[in-house]
Copies of this chain bind each other. A is one copy, B any other.
Amino acid sequence: MINIIVAGPRGKMGYEAIKMINKEENFRLVACLDRKNNGKTLKEVDGLPDLDVPIYENAEECFQAVDSADVLVELTIPEVGYLHTKTAIQHNIRPVVGTTGFNSEQLEELDELLTSKNIGGIIAPNFAIGAVLMMKFSQMAAKYLPDVEIIEKHHDNKLDAPSGTAVKTAEMIRETREPKSQGHPNETETITGARGAELDGMRIHSLRLPGLVAHQEVIFGGPGQTLSIKHDSLNRASFMDGVRFSIERVFEIDGLVYGLEQLL
Contact = CB atoms under 8 A, between A and B. Distances in A.
Contacts of A207: 149, 151, 196, 203, 205, 219
Interface in A130-166: 130-131, 133-134, 137, 140-141, 143-145, 147-149, 151, 153, 156-162
A264 to B, nearest CB: 7
A260 to B, nearest CB: 10
Nearest to A236: B224
Given A130-B222, A160-B190, A236-B224, A195 B208 contact: yes
A128 interface: yes
A229 interface: yes
Nearest to A170: B191
A4 interface: no
A183 interface: yes
A245 B210 contact: no
A47 interface: no
Interface in A231-247: 231-241, 245
A66 interface: no
A237 B224 contact: yes
Interface in A28-81: none
B144 A220 contact: no
Given A133-B141, A182-B156, A190-B161, A226 B205 contact: no
B211 A188 contact: no
A228 B229 contact: yes
10 contacts: A161-B189, A182-B208, A193-B194, A194-B206, A196-B207, A209-B220, A210-B222, A211-B223, A211-B226, A223-B241
